[in-house]
Amino acid sequence: MSAITEDPPKREHITETEFWNVLMHDVFGPRQGGAIIFVDAENARKGVAKTSCAVALARLFSRAFRYDLQFEDLTLSGAEYLKRYQEHPGQDQPSVLVLDEFVGAGAGDKRRAMAQQNVDFGRAWQLLRTKRVITLATLPDWNEADKRLKKLADYRVWLRERPIGCFQGYKITVPFNSNGGSAVRTKGLGPGDSTRKIHFPNMDAEGDPYYHHLTEKKDELIHSSTWDADVLGEDDDEGQQLVDPEEAKRREAIRYAIRLYEPWNDDNDLSQDEVAGVVEDYSASWVGNRVREWREGEYRDLVPDPRED
């Protein structure tokens, strides 16, 4: 008598999953908003196709939204991401952005919690819901992200080590009376309180142009003199980097110091000493000199005068 074999369970398409249904309800339901999705990996493993997953999801969301995905929508730079977000459509058109190597390429790191860019991310993500932008941010382990940014995120896509090419989807929850990102939790998106594996295609093997666009960006970063995508400048005719990393760091400190001190605001009671205590490696006199130069018209490309809006 031959053994009775059962057919393998039918692989569920992502559009038939609770993860997809809940996320689409966020975008098209009464909330009419966007979402932040962290894409990380089991045991923070490398080589489990986080970028491929983010690109595959970006492609899928774009088709669902009838949004014309652009190469500029996929970046490693936090500064480019924030700029692109501002350029995206408003309430009438859902859209997609991918921020690859979040933390690893210099943006969103919890060790840079006081950096102005992390503050800018927080402000942008609070407004993002009304603009209906889906952000896919990849990183090895979502616990490496600034805790305030974790608290503002909506979903976690957790890639499994085996088999490569699948993830489990979670909704990010914040307990009542929580006052920090360390209390943030995840809840499985079906069935019940658990979550099942969702498969995605190998975008590298398929020769996807958006995937290879990000790969080229990463190659540029790896072969640069800095690991920070925000300080990669345009190349000159000989392919040499024009932006010096130390100068980029100094300009970020100037921008942060001026924004903290608010020389345009007579009601701001922060002293130069207090600002210097936040902006590391710089003295109160340095802060005073930068404020004086701003008042004389310098650094307006970094910090515009809000009174001139």
**What is the dihedral angle through the alpha carbons of 207, 210, 216, 219, rounded to the nearest 10 degrees?**
-90
For residue 199, which phi and psi values (nearest 5 degrees)?
Answer: -95, 150
Pairwise CA distance, residues 175 & 183, whole Å: 7
Query: What torsion, rounded to 10 degrees, do the Cα atoms 267, 272, 276, 279 define?
Result: 40
CATH 3.40.50.300 is the classification of domain 14-222:
yes
Residuewise pLDDT in 10s, the chain (309 residues) = 445 555 445 677 899 999 999 999 999 999 888 899 999 999 988 889 999 999 999 999 999 999 999 999 999 888 788 888 888 887 889 999 999 988 654 454 444 444 566 667 777 777 666 789 999 999 989 888 888 788 889 999 999 998 899 999 999 998 776 655 457 889 999 887 788 899 999 999 999 999 999 998 888 776 655 545 554 444 434 444 444 566 777 887 888 788 888 899 888 888 898 888 777 678 999 999 999 999 999 988 888 888 876
User: Where are the domains positioned within the chain?
Assistant: 14-222, 245-302
